Amino acid sequence: MKRETADDMRGNSMSNDASAFIKEYCAKTGRDPARLLDVAREVQARFGCVSPQSITAISREMKLPRADVEGVVTFYAFLSTAPKGRYVIRLCNDVVDMMKGARDVGETFSRELGIKFGRTTADGLFSLEWTPCIGMSDQAPAALINETVFTHLDGDKARRIVGELRRGSTLEGMVDTFGDGNNAHPLVRSMVMNNIRMRGPVIFSDFQPGSALKKALSLSPAEVIRDIKTSRLRGRGGAGFPTGMKWDFTRQAEGAEKYVLCNADEGEPGTFKDRVILTECPHLFLEGMTIAGYAIGARKGIIYLRGEYAYLRAFLEKTIQDRRDSGLLGRGICGKADFEFDIRVQMGAGAYVCGEETSLISSCEGSRGDPKNRPPFPAQKGFLGRPTVVNNVETFACAARILDQGPGWFANMGSNGSPGTKLLSVSGDCRRPGVYEVPFG
């Protein structure tokens, strides 16, 4: 595919390839306005930018106001109206990465490329940018190059990366040592390490896919919510709202169509525990989402996966398909003819604010990730204006384990006010950075 050039940007023309691709991809999405971010991401990936001419074409094909399309493209950090290099180096500049030497690594990249941060090389091969936390603080300094993660960087590695890419090496070929667990999976093939330092009984113990779901389906939806309430599970995303209460509010809300949204956009600096669940325990949190769907009467679920974790997308989508093939998603789940639930992955595009639930919902709808005033709460009016449960990855994983092992088992761990276990992301000035599962409270 032809990448947009500066001349294309200044003129009124657009390559035939870009025009044809936009028309084809918009048709593939059914011209659904909620898929606008997907369209913009694909155009960016294919052509190096979403040029003004591409914005006009998307607007025409999606039958959306041009201002809405431009608003989305200019909101997300991973989208650009100006051409980017073939390789976009995004070096993390959060506090841990800086402490571990990111500034020196950045100076090396800048010197080797002959450009300052925020610029693109004259040959169009490289763009160099700083980016906020990419969820790799336990293996800093780290960078994203397109969708490939490079960890434990130093000056020598930076020079080698630039040299090999100039000589025609591929990003995939440059990752010759894989991390542990599913980081070495054929659909992941990443150098990222899990760094699980302490395993506990809730998240990091063995799990048989379908075991929790079958127990949930032997109960009524009201009984499932009762068990979540009895466990006293609180949301693991920060606010600590009682999960059973949130599910109950959503179930009781008016509306025939309801949704389950999984917040996999952990953007807080130094946070990476959900990344490890996504990698090593995908069935656990997917099962939790499915149980939530049964409990509230939803048929559709969405995983909002942060753009920084795009390297996990194919693996997660394969896991979702495996669950469909095993009768754990789709129609007639586990032989229950009247229960239908499916899940899709919605990619983010580099917006920290989308970790907030109303911003996340806006982004899933194909809009700018602008937060909304509450009330109404998502349980009343969420995705597409319908009642919606929004929980994070860890919360859904806990919910599945509760249905598998029982609410009393979960409630007997941790403290009276905060039962269960909690994952901690530990990094910075420490000997053993990584993820620790500890009793909560």
At residue 1, the pLDDT reads 43
User: What average pLDDT score do residues 90-119 get?
Assistant: 98
Residues 6 or more apart from 104 whose CB is under 8 A from it?
154, 155
Whether residue 141 has pLDDT greater than 60: yes
Please name each of the domains of the chain with its CATH number.
Answer: 6-75 (no CATH), 87-176 (3.40.30.10), 196-439 (3.40.50.11540)
> How far apart are alpha carbons 107 and 336 in whole angstroms?
59
At residue 199, the pLDDT reads 98
286-327 confidence digits (pLDDT tens): 999 999 999 999 999 999 999 999 999 999 999 999 999 999
User: What average pLDDT score do residues 371-393 get?
Assistant: 96
Residue whose structure tokens are 């586990």: 334
At residue 383, the pLDDT reads 97
- Residue 14 pLDDT class (50, 70, 90 cuts): confident
Q: How many residues are there in the chain? A: 441
Helices (H), 167-253: 171-174, 211-217, 221-231, 243-252
At residue 3, the pLDDT reads 54
At residue 16, the pLDDT reads 83
Whether residue 179 has pLDDT greater than 50: yes
Whether residue 5 has pLDDT greater than 70: no
At residue 237, the pLDDT reads 86
CA nearest to 383, candidates 30, 28, 31, 34: 34
Half-sphere exposure of 35 (CA within 13 A, CB side): 18
> How far apart are alpha carbons 417 and 438 in whole angstroms?
15
Please state the pTM of the whole predicted model: 0.95
Whether residue 440 has pLDDT greater than 60: yes
List, in sequence order, every beta strand (DSSP E) within 77-182: 87-92, 119-120, 126-131, 143-145, 148-150
- Residue 13 pLDDT class (50, 70, 90 cuts): low
At residue 96, the pLDDT reads 98
CA distances from 37 to 51, 94, 122, 386 (A): 15, 26, 29, 20
User: What average pLDDT score do residues 186-199 get?
Assistant: 98
- Cis before 376 (ω within 30): yes
At residue 2, the pLDDT reads 47
User: Would you give the end-to-end CA distance of the chain in angstroms?
Assistant: 54
DSSP state of 307: G
User: What average pLDDT score do residues 102-124 get?
Assistant: 98
Whether residue 42 has pLDDT greater than 70: yes
- Residue 6 pLDDT class (50, 70, 90 cuts): very low
45-88 confidence digits (pLDDT tens): 999 999 999 999 999 999 999 999 999 999 999 999 999 999 99
43 vs 12, higher pLDDT: 43
